[in-house]
Amino acid sequence: MPSLTENLKAFQALKTNLFEKDFLLTWEHPEEEIRAILTLADTLKTLHKEGKSYRSFDTGLAISIFRDNSTRTRFSFASAASAMGLSLADLDEEKSQVAHGETVRETANMISFLTEVIGIRDDMFLGEGNSYMREVGDALTDGTQQGVLHRRPSIVNLQCDIDHPTQSLADLAWLKSHFGSLENLKGKKLAMTWAYSPSYGKPLSVPQGIIGLMSRFGMDVRLAHPEGYGLIPEVVELAGKQAAASGGKFSVSNSMDEAFAGADIVYPKSWAPFHVMQRRTELLKTSDKEGLKALEKECLANNAKFTTWECTRAKMDTTANKKALYMHCLPADITDVSCKAGEVSAEVFEQYRIPTYQEAAYKPFIISALMFLTRMKDPGAKLEQIIKRSQNLCL
């Protein structure tokens, strides 16, 4: 593992342009910026492991807005805010004036007077989550231009309907660590496959985030799902273009076995079909409870046709040297543990349980890095100051 000094030198050599900006989709940012995020996250992780503070703020708020349930991302955002020196406030819309008709424009400004970062999770409504984040961003820009806000807070996407950037970046950081470098990922075969689940409404953003990021690093990305379980077409098309540009490959099939064969990395994860999420969004908007029940019944019946889409020992034995790296964003649906039949067998999950925890452990540092880069005008100088401070404390 590189030393703090080596990481600092590598980080300072990378250009970023994130100051007072938002981070909403990984593919909106150049590869050099992605490398800077990973290098910074590694540095912050090393500082924390050595018991050294990377506190960067004397004051300020980090606000979280979770419109869906969360464990890993919620606590990663909270721990990142604490490590950075920010106080955490969670906006509960039911307890705010949003419930009384307060507009997005007004709410965005009212919560932002001394706020540095706003983290938002909004993944329930296809076509709505990312748009909501951008609407908040437009309100913040207007408030700053009008002199209401002294500084425009930055928005970090904690999962939307299109992408889950803090998850995919944490996954990439884990792959970088596991294989030794980003360069070592070139040519590696990654199987991003649908897997059976006894639930139907899982977002598309994790598989889309994976193909939207990993296709940029020369990998052989294989997307597999049953017929009819496709992702947002524009994201699939983007992954293909990025793979070609990076010297990698991208393919789509309807065979989990085909995707697993010879794979170096497997990522079996359930999601709802794109067309189902479109229908579900319309029903949610109108609060059509009976319609939602009917849709759930229909979708679960369709899912039941594909119970063989499970990550088993037999499938893992077809991967490269029979020991591909298993990945999951968690929580996984584990057969005979969390459900009768699910995404992964109990044997396979238990073998890779600690590696999936190590994968998840990168998320607080990825979020810390995004907070740092979006709020520090000269991040290279600030990181150098933090490292020198940590070294002086050890003298």
Residue 348 shares a structural domain with residue 211: yes
The sheet carrying 61-66 orders its strands as 87-90, 61-66, 115-122, 154-160
Among 262, 264, 281, 263, residue whose Cα is nearest residue 272:
281
What is the pLDDT averaged over residues 256-283? Answer: 94
pLDDT of 181-211, one tens digit each? 999 999 999 999 999 999 987 999 999 999 9
Predicted confidence (pLDDT) at residue 394 exceeds the cutoff of 60: no
Residue 159 shares a structural domain with residue 185: no
What's the pLDDT score for residue 359?
A: 98
Using a pLDDT cut of 90, give the percent of the chain over it.
89
Model pTM score? 0.96
Q: What are phi and psi of 79, to 5 degrees?
A: -70, -35
Domain hosting residue 259, numbered range: 167-360
What's the pLDDT score for residue 242?
A: 98
Residue 298 shares a structural domain with residue 175: yes
- Other beta carbons within 10 angstroms of residue 393's beta carbon come to 10
Alpha-carbon distance of 8 to 383, in angstroms, equals 7
Burial grade of 98 (CB within 10 A; 0-12, 13-18, 19 or more): middle
The CB-side HSE value for 375 (13 A sphere, CA atoms) comes to: 28
Among 186, 292, 291, 293, residue whose Cα is nearest residue 247:
186
Mean model confidence pLDDT for the chain: 95
Residue 89 shares a structural domain with residue 177: no
Residue 334 shares a structural domain with residue 227: yes
Q: What angle do CA 43, 44, 47 make, to 5 degrees?
A: 90
Among 74, 120, 54, 46, residue whose Cα is nearest residue 376:
54
Residue 206 shares a structural domain with residue 324: yes
According to DSSP, residue 153 is labeled: P
340-365 burial code (b ≥16 CB/10 A, e <16):
ebbbbbeebbeebeeebeebbebbbb
The CB-side HSE value for 294 (13 A sphere, CA atoms) comes to: 7
Residue 76 in tokens: 């990663």
Alpha-carbon distance of 149 to 187, in angstroms, equals 47
Burial grade of 204 (CB within 10 A; 0-12, 13-18, 19 or more): buried
Using a pLDDT cut of 70, give the percent of the chain over it.
99
Residue 122 shares a structural domain with residue 82: yes
4-13 burial code (b ≥16 CB/10 A, e <16):
beebbebbee
Residue 71 shares a structural domain with residue 153: yes
What is the number of domains present in the chain? 2
One-letter amino acid for residue 138 of the chain: D
What is the pLDDT averaged over residues 24-53? Answer: 98
Residue 195 shares a structural domain with residue 332: yes
Residue 185 shares a structural domain with residue 119: no
The sheet carrying 220-224 orders its strands as 249-253, 220-224, 189-193, 265-268, 325-326
What's the pLDDT score for residue 213?
A: 98
Are 332 and 343 in contact, with CB atoms under 8 Å apart?
A: yes
pLDDT of 143-183, one tens digit each? 999 999 999 999 999 999 999 999 999 999 999 999 999 99
395 pLDDT tier (thresholds 50, 70, 90)? very low
CATH number at residue 386: 3.40.50.1370
Residue 187 shares a structural domain with residue 135: no
Residue 174 shares a structural domain with residue 222: yes
